[in-house]
Structures are given as structure tokens and as C-alpha cells.
Amino acid sequence: MRHVAIIGSGPAGYYTAEAVQKAFGEEARIDVFDCLPVPYGLIRTGVAPDHQSIKGVSRRYEQTALSENVRFVGNITVGKDVTIPELQDLYDAVVLATGAPVDRPLDLPGDDLPNVFGSAAFVGWYNGHPQFADLAPDLSGKTAVVIGMGNVALDVARILSKSRREFEGSDIVGHALDLLGQSRIERIVILGRRGPHQIMMTPKELGELAKLDRASPHVDKRDLPDEGEDAILEPGLRKSVTLLRGFAAIPEAIHAEKPIEIEFDFFASPKALIGNGRLEAIEVERTEVRTGRAHGTGEIYRIPAGLVVCCIGYRSSPIPDVPFDERQGRFANDEGRIMPGLYCVGWARRGPSGTIGTNRPDGFDIADKIAQDAASGVLGPANKHGRPAFDTLARERGLKLVTFRDWKKIEEAEERAARDGAPREKFVDIGSMMKALD
Ligand code: NAP
């Protein structure tokens, strides 16, 4: 019997559990840990609440979670409640699937002003992540600036623009829905330090901006390269750029029907956040792109801003006793191997890129490596005690484990509390989640 501990119950964690199960069959016992009492990581707290079909993938993870040799162990923070060396003593393989939950810092003067948020915090707020539920952003200013031209920037701009009606069927948490209902935002500027050919936005997500009740996307056609130059782009990016061309052609009369303007500001690199105890503006330098890189032109301008959300990527969170690559913001690893018996997978391995599905081959690859290491003797003899030994340790420490069956009770309580038409109303603090188990 091989005992495997997977730390993190998001897509990378559950795809790895599925893959280990397939590789070892009945010969493996898999414990999937999470610091929250609820599973699924980014599916619950990262994927936009109005993208319910994407969240449907959790049904696949549930099948894995309910299988005989897989167990969910919620409410345990690895590195605090139990250390990595302790887990390595108990399990043959420990796999870090902890994602990249920390915002990449903007590192600019004024970035500590109130109402300047990273996307982990802002997205966590509207998705009910217990760490960010109290964020209470001030939406009373007329202009919001979203930094970055990736899919997270699109999520944030779209959520800021939607009407209450457009959130029907979503699981946006009540506190965010109420605050967004009072928003005075009329202009959302999406700031990109490079040009239309360098955006990271994918076509399906970009196309949604043209279908909003109250907002319309504005692109200045002077920012677009000659159409002939699109031929060199890979097909997905070419589609996105075609959408931008469509936005640039939207007639003024159509824009006039929508009270919120979503403006793409290309070739615009943030330089400083301006304000005296209160955010007032963002200072930006105009750039030009040469051989794919942005170069400042020295032209500086200011955009008045009441809210800034930085959607510039994420970093993993270090765990004591695990080598960390500070520059890359992820665990130091060689194709997923950190040291004998310790692995990482998904964003914790490769950084925050790709889609949810990208984590599946990653999970299968790491399961192969565990199987190879078991066969070649790297993992040592199969004599570790795994689950029962962990449970003894947890009891001794007074840790309150949350099982998958417990999670189903929390889920039922969230479903019972749902607004009309919504799938659930999430608990946004750990105390309420635990109370639902009483
Ligand atoms: P991303 O795709 O890597 O985009 C980050 C953006 O931030 C880029 O435009 C980048 O510009 C910009 N940026 C980075 N550092 C900057 C700085 N210092 N100043 C100004 N701009 C800066 O990251 P993301 O949007 O956080 O998305 C993360 C991953 O999740 C991606 O794989 C994404 O596709 C995925 N995701 C998918 C969905 C979906 O499929 N619906 C939704 C959300 C997220 P440069 O290119 O110039 O560096």
C-alpha cells in the first residue's frame, strides 16, 4: 500500500488524486488536504460566479472524492497544523497542489493606498473567500482602473459592469451583490502596458464584454496594428484581436445606449498610484512595443481613479521546509519533483498559466513520476502508516478535520440559503461553515 497526501483540493489536487488512483488502483490511499473546510479551491473562489458552467467540473472531482480510496481532509493548514516533514514521515508521497493564491505585487509608489487591491483579494471578495470577505471596496468613484490584459482583468471588469439581473443564476455572494448594486462606476479602464497583439485575453471571455446590459467596450482604432499583421498570430489570439477590431467599430449611437464605458488603454504602463490617504488617480507612462517588449516613451498622464484592481498574475505561498523559487514565485522543482517523495503540480509547479484543463495532464504526469519513484526505490519500502497515523496526530493536536461527508452538509446548507434562481449562497467565514456541521 502506498499512502499519498495531496495538499490542495482545487483542480490540480483532484486531477492528481484521479491520476494516482488510476496508476496504483487499490494499492494507494489518497488524502486530499485543504486549509478551508470546503473543497475545490479556485473552482469555488476563483472562477467567476457568472461562469457556472465552468464550475460544473467540480462534479468530476466529486466522483474522485467519493471513491473508496480517496478522502478529503478539510480545515487543516499544512505548514501550521502539521509540517511537511511530519507528512513525509507518514505518507510515501506528498504532492503540493496549493496553487498560486497570492497577488504578484505591483511594487509602485502609492500601491498601499486604500481601494487599491490585487485580484486575489478582489476576486476572493466577490466569490466569498473567507480571507477576503470583509474587503468592502469603495465603489462610489466614477472610474475604476483594472491593470493587466488577461482573463482575470476581464472577469473583474465584467463583474463591475453587470446589473443585478445579469447575476441571476450566478453564485456571487450576497455582500458583493449588494455593494455592486450601489456602485457609481461609469468608466472602467483596462490598462495594458503592451498592445492589442500582446493581450492574454481569450476570445470567449473577451466576447462577453459586447453582450453586457449596461456596458460597452471601447477600443481606439488607432491602437490597432494593420489588419494584415494579424496573420502571424496564433488562432486564439487572432480571434481576440478580431474582437477588438469589432469593438473599435461599434458606432457611437450604440455606446450612447450604455451608461458604463469599458475602455481599453493600450501601450500604458502604470507608474504610481496618486492620493493623500485616499486614492485619486493613477499615473501612467505611454509605451511603444519593440520586439515584443514595452518601452517607456516619457509621455506621462493621469487617469482619475476611485478604485484600482491589479490583475497582473499570482504567486504561490511558500510553506516552511519546502525550497521556494522567489524569482518565479513557485516551489523550486525539477518537472514537479522537489525532493524525494515531495512533488508539486499545477500552478504550484509551473506558475499561474493555462486553463483548468491544463492541470489534468499535469496531474497524470506527477502520478507517473510517483509510480516511477516507487518502482525505482526512491520512495523506499511501502511501510508508512498514512491515514490512521495522521488521524492519531490530528487527535493529539485537537485538530477538527472536515470530511467530504461534512462538506456535503455545508453544501446542503448553502443550497438551502440560496437566493431565488441561484445555486447557493456561500458561507463566507469558517465559523459559519463549521457551525453548519453542528
Ligand atoms: P495573465 O493571463 O498572465 O495576464 C496578466 C496580465 O498582467 C498581462 O496582460 C501582463 O502584461 C500584465 N502585467 C503583468 N505585470 C504587470 C505590471 N507590472 N504592470 C502592468 N501590467 C502587468 O494573468 P491572469 O489574468 O491573472 O490569469 C491567470 C491565468 O488564469 C491565465 O492562464 C488565465 O487564462 C486564467 N484564467 C482563465 C479564465 C477563463 O478561462 N475564463 C478566467 C480567469 C483566469 P504583459 O503581458 O505585458 O506581461
Residues 363-404 pLDDT 10s: 999 999 999 999 999 999 999 999 999 999 999 999 999 999
> For position 307, what pLDDT does the model report?
98
Please, are residues 283 and 271 in contact by the beta-carbon 8 Å criterion? yes
- In angstroms, what is the span from residue 295 Cα to ligand 1's centroid? 19
Query: Domain containing 295: what range?
Result: 104-314
> For position 252, what pLDDT does the model report?
95
The answer on 193 and 134 residing in a single domain is: yes
The answer on 224 and 135 residing in a single domain is: yes
- In angstroms, what is the span from residue 144 Cα to ligand 1's centroid? 18
Pocket of ligand 1, candidates 42, 117, 193, 287: which has the most ligand atoms within 8 Å of its Cβ, to mutate? 193
Instruction: Please state the separation of Cα 338 from the chain's center in Å.
Output: 23
Of 290, 314, 338, which residue sits at a domain end?
Answer: 314
Alpha-carbon dihedral sign for residues 235, 156, 310, 305: positive
Please, are residues 114 and 280 in contact by the beta-carbon 8 Å criterion? no
- In angstroms, what is the span from residue 200 Cα to ligand 1's centroid? 6
The answer on 245 and 331 residing in a single domain is: no
Please, are residues 348 and 100 in contact by the beta-carbon 8 Å criterion? yes
| Angle of helix 119-126 versus helix 174-181 axis, rounded to 10 | 100
Cell of 373: 519513484
Supply the mean pLDDT for the chain: 97
**CA 107 to ligand 1: nearest atom:** 18
The answer on 156 and 136 residing in a single domain is: yes
- Judged by DSSP in three states, 102 sits in strand
> For position 438, what pLDDT does the model report?
86
The answer on 260 and 349 residing in a single domain is: no
Distances (CA, A) of 240 to 138, 201, 266, 369: 31, 7, 14, 37
Burial class of 357 by CB neighbour count within 10 A (0 to 12, 13 to 18, 19+)? exposed
Task: Average the pLDDT over 180-202 and give the result.
Answer: 98
What is the number of structural domains in the chain?
2
Per-residue pLDDT tens over the stretch 44-58: 999 999 999 999 999
The answer on 285 and 227 residing in a single domain is: yes
Task: Please tell me the residue having the least CA distance from ligand 1 atom 12.
Answer: 148
Query: Cα torsion for 48, 128, 345, 392, to the nearest 10°?
Result: -150
Whole-structure pTM value: 0.97
The answer on 25 and 68 residing in a single domain is: yes
Q: In the structure, which protein residues have their CB atom closer than 6 angstroms to any atom of ligand 1?
A: 147-153, 155, 192-194, 198, 200, 202, 205, 270, 311-313, 352-355
The answer on 259 and 120 residing in a single domain is: yes
- In angstroms, what is the span from residue 395 Cα to ligand 1's centroid? 42
Pocket of ligand 1, candidates 108, 149, 202: which has the most ligand atoms within 8 Å of its Cβ, to mutate? 149
**CA 106 to ligand 1: nearest atom:** 18
The residues near 182 (Cβ < 8 Å, ≥ 6 apart) are: 139, 140
Q: Residue 378 maps to which CATH number?
A: 3.40.50.720
The CA distance from 275 to 271, in Å, is 13
Please, are residues 295 and 281 in contact by the beta-carbon 8 Å criterion? no
The answer on 310 and 185 residing in a single domain is: yes
The answer on 79 and 123 residing in a single domain is: no
Task: Please tell me the residue having the least CA distance from ligand 1 atom 31.
Answer: 353
Of 314, 345, 363, which residue sits at a domain end?
Answer: 314
Of 314, 345, 380, which residue sits at a domain end?
Answer: 314
Scanning the structure block, which residue is given the C-alpha cell 492528481?
16
Task: Average the pLDDT over 107-133 and give the result.
Answer: 98
User: Has residue 409 got a pLDDT over 90?
Assistant: yes
Please, are residues 171 and 335 in contact by the beta-carbon 8 Å criterion? no
The CA distance from 225 to 237, in Å, is 14
Q: Residue 112 maps to which CATH number?
A: 3.50.50.60
The answer on 309 and 255 residing in a single domain is: yes
